[in-house]
């Protein structure tokens, strides 16, 4: 190939094998990354990508196989070893301390301490270069997923790595930010650095990467040039059969009844650094899928909590469900009126990791008739519903009595989405339903959402994935600093216009701070 | 760097979850043997005096029940609360208040006849326990005050209140100035349910509490809500389970049961108000709750084991001349070993395979 000819590869993995009780996570994996190459690592959740990456970063040790770095065999015993070799890592699951602030978290990942002022200076430089803005004094606890990822990326770039491993880096960026990141990555590659790029967004891989290695069930099934492939062909390699995404035909919504109406919905923040919701108005009609786009941390979480009833609104009339004011009703009462909500965080919010699938079904199904009688749980009925969800949404699980935390991300997401849809909601609010799930699960979730809307339910899809919004939504509105733009039909909106709105253009000047 | 490594298990071990308490118990016994030997006693005789002799008679078994009753009653309530993430550490204070409530009824009705007296004492004791527990509950729900500190500090307030009463207004007028109340009369005493022992009706309450607690946890929606609250508070809020309500009721339940236990103590084995009405049952019940895995049936078994450590300690003092502190040492050892064994639920110790060759020192150009 054209890159790095004559020089030894930056990284060679030869016959890497790693077994866990019951599974072979990596089965004789061979992988070569050349200097200056952007190399994609593809595979469904559970295909063995994370294991391979952890081996590369010294978190796990292979049972067999050899790692060569710049032509020499090396043993990577710890992340410290990996960093000394020049391997930088942005993990998919953030490795941050919630109680510490941004600067402290970045300092913890460094091998040296440049001093807070010097660090701030260098970070500011990097932030400008790569468009990753961050307030160093904020506590990680209060940051959104997107902002947390920016810390990880910056932390890595500070170390000027020879090989940079990125796990789903763009999932929380605006298209403009992602484009800027691609420019950065290309620049890094042009400097001779290598990049191992893990993403579920196959469009990105086709656009950005020079080569791609595809894993399925722990084995390498193909190494291809993605520039000669299509997203669909890559997806086929990953899952082994066709990933069927649904078609969305925009229905005529003029006559459809309004199912959910927010009327100047405002809610002050309930903790430091939370976003205040300011006069959000929207109408969601039966049969419609309305997309809420926006960069992470602009009030998505607050909006979803307010709609769910996790936080009550100051006035009942700020939110109407099926024509009734519900702003002062709790989650259960709203569910009984036909609302279902699925928050972004799967474990600890949408599901309880330590509880089995039957209990996790009960978690949101209990207000439905038949689940509870005189205060006692009718476990058989709940289990029947759980079994329906598992079967209908093809949740891969050894049984219903398995703790939710034991399911892979994609399977758990199938389960929680299925749990909500199986309750036949009249209004469904979902936040980031396909974040970090494999292509197969994402397609299944999209099919379910589209089918639900076709049956006449109203769907509110909060997502940072603009492809997802533009493909499946009828209208889209942008959330920026707690304010919502007017909804636009997706047919009349461009990616560029959305990106500008997501960056705050078009929201007018930021109003002067009110009384503090 | 060869040797043993400790690593996190991919999933918590089911085996160790259940094996930890018995293993801790065995380790405690082993440590006890060493301890007795070091103290210069025959370990065999000391252990016999500690663990066998006390329960070798019907009377001894009755005593076991007498000690286990308050422990099981209190620990059952605490275990339910702990599972909901509600940390009532002040059951000892709620027990003392329960004793005061029951004692006030008994002394106010002194000289009267009537089958209403004993039940009224139990109700008063329970109510006093609940009122004492509602202080930390309301402070947490309304103001976000840490319930651990408040409930714990109220123990000392209750203790001093009891002493003030017994040294003052409730002192026995014919008691030669000793700080104790009149002896309760027959209608104010807990009926004995096993002739020839001191085992009283409270033991039945304890069994009933265990059964109801099991049913509540396993079968009711509220029990489910409490478990969700303890495991994932955000998920509880999402599901529509109100945190404030759960905190209040967890305190009402655990405080009420502790108050009931206090009432039964003064109406049962003690029979009057004394400056001290409990050898720390309210605190020991915390050990019992965790030793029993916060499960009602486990609490019942753990309550019996810990009760044995109380009466065994007394017996060993008398028969072998072991120091009084040995009871506390045993309970401490038990908790220590339990926490140590707990570690093996989440971690395992494994022999490290031969270390591979060291990394060739890479050139770090930067």
CATH of domain A11-239: 3.40.50.300
Q: Is the ipTM of this complex over 0.90?
A: no
- Over chain A, what is the mean pLDDT? 86
Question: Residue A302 is encoded by which pair of tokens?
Answer: 């607050």
pLDDT band at residue B10 using 50, 70 and 90 as cut-offs = low
Q: Does domain A258-349+425-502 have CATH number 3.10.310.10?
A: no
Q: How far is CA A375 from CA A332, A378, B266, in A?
A: 15, 9, 35
pLDDT band at B11 (very low <50, low <70, confident <90, very high): low
pLDDT digits (tens, 9 = 90+) for A128-172: 776 667 788 888 887 766 677 778 878 888 888 899 998 877 766
CB A335 within 8 A of CB B190: no
Report pLDDT for B229. Answer: 96
Tens digit of each residue's pLDDT (9 = 90 or more) over B40-69: 888 888 888 888 888 889 999 999 999 999
The answer to whether the Cα torsion of B186, B188, B192, B196 is positive or negative is negative
**Residue A508 confidence (pLDDT):** 62
How far is the C-alpha of A232 from the C-alpha of A443, rounded, in Å?
12
In this model, does residue B354 exceed pLDDT 50? no
A471: tokens are 């493909």
Q: What is the pLDDT of residues A233-258, one digit of tens each?
A: 888 888 765 456 777 777 777 788 99
Q: Kindly report, residue by residue over A60-91, the tens digit of the pLDDT.
A: 899 999 999 999 999 998 888 898 899 988 87
Residue A104 pLDDT:
85
B144, B232, B244, B346: best to mutate for the A interface, most A CBs within 10 A:
B232
Q: Does A381 have pLDDT greater than 80?
A: yes
Check whether B331 has a pLDDT greater than 80: no
Considering chain B, what percentage of its residues have pLDDT values greater than 70?
94
Q: Which pLDDT belongs to residue A498?
A: 87
Q: Of the given ranges (A277-286, A373-382, B329-338), which has the lowest mean pLDDT?
A: B329-338
pLDDT for res A515 = 36
In this prediction, residue A102 has a pLDDT band, given cuts at 50, 70 and 90, of confident
Check residue B276 and give its pLDDT. Answer: 92
- Residue A511's pLDDT band, with cuts at 50, 70 and 90, is very low
Question: For residue B102, how many other CB atoms are within 10 A of its CB?
Answer: 33
B228/A352 Cβ within 8 A: yes
Examine the pLDDT at A431 and tell me if it is beyond 90: yes
pLDDT of residue A236: 80
**pLDDT greater at residue B320 or residue A239:** B320
- Over residues B159-186, the mean pLDDT reads 90
Shortest CA distance from B12: residue in chain A: A354
- Whole-number percent of chain B with pLDDT over 90: 58
- Return d(Cα A416, Cα A309) in angstroms, integer: 18
Q: Cβ contacts (< 8 Å) between B231 and chain A: which residues? A: 352-355
Mean pLDDT of B118-130: 97
Find residue B7's DSSP bridge partners.
Answer: B348
Instruction: Report d(CA A439, CA B187) in Å as an integer.
Output: 75
Confidence at residue A398, expressed as pLDDT on a 0 to 100 scale:
83
Strand partners, A196: A39, A165
Residue with more model confidence, A421 or A141 = A421
Q: Mutate which of B15, B144, B359 to test chain A, going by most A C-beta atoms within 10 A?
A: B359
Q: How far apart are CA B150 and CA B4, in angstroms?
A: 43
3-state secondary structure of A480: strand
Average confidence (pLDDT) over B167-191: 88
Distance (Å, whole) CA A422 – CA A395: 13
Interface A:B, Cβ pairs < 8 A = 91
Question: Quick one: which of B301, B254, B324 has its CA closest to B282?
Answer: B254
A315-326 residue pLDDT tens: 999 999 999 999
Contacts of A158 in chain B (CB under 8 A): none
Q: Which residue of A has its CA nearest to B225?
A: A363
pLDDT at residue B322, as a whole number: 80
Q: Is B359's CB within 8 Å of A354's CB?
A: no
Q: What pLDDT, on the 0 to 100 scale, is given for residue B352?
A: 61
Domain ranges of chain A: 11-239, 258-349+425-502
Helix, strand, coil distribution of chain B in percent, nearest 5 = 70, 5, 25
pLDDT tens track for B204-223:
999 999 999 999 999 999 99
Structure tokens belonging to residue A491: 């047919």
Instruction: Name the one residue in this structure whose structure tokens are 């709609």.
Output: A307
Beta-bridge partners for B5:
B350
Residue A277 or A502, more confident:
A277
The answer for A 191-210 residues in CB contact with B (under 8 A) is: none
Average pLDDT over residues B226-240: 96
Is the domain spanning B16-346 CATH 3.30.420? The answer is no
Q: Per the structure block, which two tokens stand in for B53?
A: 């002799």
Q: Which residues contact B34 (CB under 8 A, 6 or more apart)?
A: B43
Contact list in B for residue A372 (CB cut-off 8 A) is 221
Find the range with the poorest average confidence among A27-31, A126-130, A304-308, B108-112.
Answer: A126-130
pLDDT band at residue B353 using 50, 70 and 90 as cut-offs:
low
Q: Which residues of A touch B220 (CB under 8 A)?
A: 375-377
pLDDT value at B335 more than 90: no
Nearest residue to A466 (alpha-carbon basis) of A444, A434, A441, A443: A434
Average pLDDT, chain B: 88
Distance CA B24, CA B332 (A): 11
CB B70 within 8 A of CB B261: yes
For A89, A183, A201, A515, B165, the CA distances from A169, given in Å and listed in that order, are 11, 14, 10, 38, 68
Chain B residue closest in CA terms to A372: B221
The string of DSSP letters for B255-310 reads HHHHHHHHHHHIIIII-S--S---SSHHHHHHHHHHHTTT-HHHHHHHHHHHHHHH
């Amino acid at each position: 190939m054209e890159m790095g000819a004559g020089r030894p590869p930056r990284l060679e993995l030869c016959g890497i094998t790693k077994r866990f009780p019951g599974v072979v996570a990596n089965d004789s994996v061979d992988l070569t990354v050349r200097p200056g190459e952007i190399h994609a690592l593809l595979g469904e959740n559970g295909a063995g990508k994370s294991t391979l990456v952890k081996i590369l970063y010294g978190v796990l040790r292979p049972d067999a196989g050899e790692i060569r770095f710049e032509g020499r065999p090396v043993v990577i015993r710890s992340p410290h070893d990996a960093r000394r070799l020049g391997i930088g890592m942005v993990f998919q699951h953030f490795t941050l301390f919630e109680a510490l602030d941004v600067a402290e978290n970045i300092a913890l990942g460094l091998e040296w301490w440049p001093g807070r002022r010097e660090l701030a200076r260098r970070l500011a430089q990097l932030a400008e270069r790569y468009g990753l803005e961050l307030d160093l004094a904020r506590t990680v606890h209060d940051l959104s997923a997107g902002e947390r990822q920016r810390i990880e990326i910056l932390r890595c770039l500070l170390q000027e790595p020879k090989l940079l491993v990125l796990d789903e880096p763009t999932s929380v960026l605006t298209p403009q930010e992602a484009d800027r990141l691609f420019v950065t990555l290309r620049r890094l590659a042009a400097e001779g650095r290598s990049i191992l790029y893990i993403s579920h967004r196959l469009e990105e891989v086709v656009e950005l990467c020079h080569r791609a290695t595809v894993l399925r069930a722990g084995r390498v099934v193909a190494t291809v040039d993605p520039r000669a492939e299509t997203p669909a062909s890559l997806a086929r390699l990953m899952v082994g059969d066709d990933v069927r995404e649904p078609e969305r035909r925009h229905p005529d919504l003029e006559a459809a009844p309004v199912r959910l109406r927010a009327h100047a919905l405002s809610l002050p923040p309930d903790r430091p650094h939370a976003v205040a919701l300011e006069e959000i108005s929207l109408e969601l009609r039966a049969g419609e899928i309305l997309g809420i786009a926006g960069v992470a941390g602009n009030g998505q979480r607050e909006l979803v909590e307010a709609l769910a009833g996790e936080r009550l609104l100051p006035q009942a009339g700020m939110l109407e469900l099926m024509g009734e004011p519900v702003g002062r009703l709790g989650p259960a009462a709203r569910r009984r009126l036909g609302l279902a909500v699925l928050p972004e965080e799967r474990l600890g919010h949408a599901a309880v990791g330590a509880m089995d699938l039957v209990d996790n079904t009960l978690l949101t199904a209990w207000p439905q008739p038949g689940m509870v009688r005189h205060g006692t749980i009718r476990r058989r009925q709940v289990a029947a519903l759980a079994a329906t969800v598992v079967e209908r949404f093809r949740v891969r699980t050894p049984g219903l009595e398995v703790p939710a935390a034991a399911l892979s991300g994609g399977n758990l997401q199938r389960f929680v989405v299925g749990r909500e849809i199986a309750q036949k909601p009249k209004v469904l609010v979902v936040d980031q339903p396909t974040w970090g799930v494999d292509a197969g699960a994402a397609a299944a979730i999209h099919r379910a959402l589209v089918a639900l809307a076709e049956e006449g339910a109203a769907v509110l899809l909060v997502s940072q994935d603009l492809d997802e919004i533009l493909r499946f939504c009828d209208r889209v509105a942008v959330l920026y600093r707690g304010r919502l733009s007017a909804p636009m039909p997706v047919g009349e909106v461009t990616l560029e216009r959305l990106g500008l709105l997501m960056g705050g253009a078009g929201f007018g000047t930021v109003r002067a701070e009110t009384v503090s | 760097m060869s040797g043993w490594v400790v690593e996190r298990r991919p999933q918590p071990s089911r085996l160790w979850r259940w094996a930890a308490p018995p293993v801790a118990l065995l380790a405690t016994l082993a440590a006890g043997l060493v301890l007795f030997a070091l103290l210069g006693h025959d370990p065999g005789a000391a252990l016999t005096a500690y663990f066998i002799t006390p329960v070798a008679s019907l009377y001894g078994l009755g005593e076991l029940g007498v000690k286990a009753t308050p422990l099981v009653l209190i620990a059952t309530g605490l275990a339910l609360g702990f599972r909901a993430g509600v940390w009532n550490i002040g059951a000892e204070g709620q027990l003392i208040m329960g004793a005061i409530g029951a004692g006030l009824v008994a002394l106010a009705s002194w000289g009267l006849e009537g089958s209403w007296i004993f039940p009224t004492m139990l109700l008063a004791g329970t109510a006093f326990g609940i009122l004492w527990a509602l202080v930390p509950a309301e402070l947490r729900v309304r103001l976000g005050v840490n319930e651990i500190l408040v409930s714990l500090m109220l123990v000392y307030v209750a203790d001093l209140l009891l002493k003030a009463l017994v040294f003052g207004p409730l002192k026995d007028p014919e008691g030669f100035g000793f700080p104790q109340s009149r002896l309760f009369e027959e209608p104010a005493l807990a009926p004995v349910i096993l002739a020839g022992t001191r085992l009283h009706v409270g033991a039945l309450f304890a069994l009933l509490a265990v059964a109801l607690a099991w049913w509540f946890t396993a079968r009711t929606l509220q029990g489910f809500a409490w478990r969700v609250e303890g495991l994932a508070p955000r998920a509880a809020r999402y599901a529509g389970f109100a945190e404030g309500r759960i905190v209040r009721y967890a305190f009402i339940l655990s405080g009420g049961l502790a108050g009931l236990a206090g009432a039964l103590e003064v109406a049962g084995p003690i029979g009057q108000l004394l400056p001290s009405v409990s050898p720390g049952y309210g605190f020991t019940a915390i050990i019992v709750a965790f030793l029993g895995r916060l499960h009602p049936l486990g609490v019942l078994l753990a309550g019996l084991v810990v009760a044995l450590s109380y009466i065994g300690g007394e017996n060993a003092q008398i028969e072998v001349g072991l120091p009084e502190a040995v009871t506390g040492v045993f309970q401490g050892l038990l908790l220590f070993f339990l926490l140590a064994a707990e570690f093996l639920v989440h971690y395992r110790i494994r022999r490290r395979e031969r270390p591979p060759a060291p990394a060739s020192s890479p050139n770090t150009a930067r």
